[in-house]
């Protein structure tokens, strides 16, 4: 057994219970794993977890990640106890951080005051402007939730609580990248955004099995176009002002560092999930019997994390890559994506290709030059935001060339096509 220096556990203190019924949610079905449960983490387990989690980390900073379902349904007192227990068990000089993922609909002044006071980072799920958000994010009665989420965000802002936005990219919003991005940036005031592709397996088990996806899923090509459209706007006006997780990951990779997000790491296995009763699973996306490592009330958490089963799980991410990925020019940043989405077969018949491959390849190829430029700025100790005036000059230069180009001239953009069939084609 080799224990990692640090690891993350997404804790589900209220199991999968939620007040919403988001159509694409991968976690609601986990309720079936615990048929007679009240889905409440006991105080004894809460303390045991906090004690063991802190003790197992050999780093000075520890982050607790609270998730669900909807963790706020447990009530504020549960989290007050959690914070008090963290203080009780923290080693001298240790920094304890808390991150909580919520659908935002339950956030009132009490919650937001608490988050601000204790420095919680609150992740709020919001899929874009009203119609795009309400397409799938509905409550148990099928009613829209947009207004309730926006009220929650307003309360967070009013109390000065730290929040980021988690936007799922799916069939309903994937063709509206700029409407989504501009809404989050300009109307929500989001400075940290994650775009999570919905790849939802079409089966009755809720497990990662079968090779078809639901109609709600985004396609690989769509996801690539979505990211490219947002990147092209971001890189011209928002670098250093708005932080989009996958852009940060890419800049790290282009700068020669590890991507820093399990999906794009070579191996994974350091982000586990724990259910309300102490059952520990290899990953939040693999909460299913085959990937249950054990219960931390029976086997210490550190042993479960360092177990051979968990090591195999993490290394399989690299060891099962098909040749197409191993030889791919953007492998250094993509690494085949998350194993949960590897449901395609390569053209030469190898299994294990990521469903989003076309999108990853298009996106990572598209951003190569700007990423090289930003990485070069970083190496010189200068801010990556310096790319914005550079691109502005290039864009202005190109606009002048477009204005001067004749219909049959080669297009100044360098596509190799005639101007009249490229940037000079009449806009429909």
The catalytic site residues sit at 284
> 190-200 b/e with 16+ CB inside 10 Å = b?
bbbbbbbbbbb
> CB of residue 198 vs ligand SF4: minimum separation in angstroms?
14
In the bound state with ligand SF4, the residue whose beta carbon lies nearer, of 99 and 138, is 99
Q: Which of 100, 91, 93, 88 minimizes the C-alpha distance to 63?
A: 100
Q: Which of 91, 66, 87 minimizes the C-alpha distance to 78?
A: 66
> CB of residue 196 vs ligand SF4: minimum separation in angstroms?
10
Q: Which residues bind ligand SF4 (CB under 6 A)?
A: 262-263, 268, 271, 283, 285, 317, 324-325, 328, 330-331, 334, 336-340, 354, 357, 360-361
User: From CA 190, how far away is CA 258, in angstroms rounded?
Assistant: 25
In the bound state with ligand SF4, the residue whose beta carbon lies nearer, of 128 and 339, is 339
> CB of residue 103 vs ligand SF4: minimum separation in angstroms?
20
Tokens of 371: 């990423």
> CB of residue 29 vs ligand SF4: minimum separation in angstroms?
17
Query: What is the Cα gyration radius of the chain?
Result: 23
SS3 219: coil
**Could you tell me if 233 and 367 are in contact, meaning their C-beta atoms sit under 8 angstroms apart?**
no
Continuous H helices in 67-193: 76-89, 109-117, 130-134, 146-158, 177-182
In the bound state with ligand SF4, the residue whose beta carbon lies nearer, of 128 and 224, is 224
> CB of residue 68 vs ligand SF4: minimum separation in angstroms?
17
The string of DSSP codes covering 338-372 is: -GGG--EE-TTS-EEE-TTHHHHHHHHHHTHHHHH
**Could you tell me if 67 and 54 are in contact, meaning their C-beta atoms sit under 8 angstroms apart?**
no
């Amino acid at each position: 057994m080799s224990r990692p220096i640090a690891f993350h556990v997404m804790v589900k203190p209220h199991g999968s219970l939620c007040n919403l019924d988001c159509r694409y949610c991968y976690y609601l079905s986990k309720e079936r794993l615990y048929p007679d449960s009240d889905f409440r983490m006991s105080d004894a387990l809460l303390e045991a977890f906090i004690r063991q989690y802190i003790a197992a980390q050999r780093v000075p900073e520890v982050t607790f990640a609270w998730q669900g379902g909807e963790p706020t349904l447990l009530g504020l007192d549960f989290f007050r106890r959690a914070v008090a227990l963290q203080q009780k068990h923290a080693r001298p000089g240790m920094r304890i951080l808390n991150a909580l993922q919520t659908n935002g609909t339950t956030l009132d002044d009490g919650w937001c005051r608490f988050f601000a006071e204790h420095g919680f980072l609150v992740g709020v799920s919001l899929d874009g402007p009203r119609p795009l958000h309400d397409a799938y994010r509905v409550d148990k009665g099928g009613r829209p939730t947009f207004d309730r989420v926006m009220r929650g965000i307003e309360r967070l802002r009013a109390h000065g609580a730290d929040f980021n936005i988690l936007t799922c990219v799916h069939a309903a919003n994937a063709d509206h990248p700029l409407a989504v991005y501009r809404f989050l940036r300009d109307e929500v005031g989001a400075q940290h955004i994650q775009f999570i592709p919905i790849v939802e397996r079409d089966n009755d088990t809720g497990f990662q099995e079968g090779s078809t996806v639901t109609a709600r899923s985004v396609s690989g090509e769509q996801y690539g176009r979505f990211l490219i459209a947002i990147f092209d706007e971001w890189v011209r006006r928002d670098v250093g002002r708005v932080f989009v997780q996958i852009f940060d990951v890419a800049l790290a990779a282009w700068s020669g560092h590890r991507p820093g997000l399990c999906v794009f790491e070579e191996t994974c296995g350091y982000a586990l999930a724990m259910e309300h009763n102490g059952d520990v699973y290899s990953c939040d996306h693999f909460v299913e019997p085959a990937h249950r490592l054990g219960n931390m009330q029976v086997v210490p958490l550190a042993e479960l994390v360092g177990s051979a089963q968990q090591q195999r799980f993490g290394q399989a991410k690299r060891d099962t890559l098909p040749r197409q990925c191993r030889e791919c020019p953007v492998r250094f940043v993509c690494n085949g994506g998350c194993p949960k989405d590897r449901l395609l077969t390569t053209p030469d018949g190898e299994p294990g290709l990521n469903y989003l491959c076309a999108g990853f390849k298009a996106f990572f190829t598209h951003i190569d030059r700007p990423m090289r430029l930003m990485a070069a700025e970083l190496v010189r100790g200068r801010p990556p935001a310096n790319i914005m005036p550079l691109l502005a000059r290039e864009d202005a230069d190109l606009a002048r060339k477009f204005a001067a180009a004749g219909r049959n001239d080669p297009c100044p953009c360098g596509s190799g096509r005639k101007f009249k069939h490229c940037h000079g084609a009449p806009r429909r």
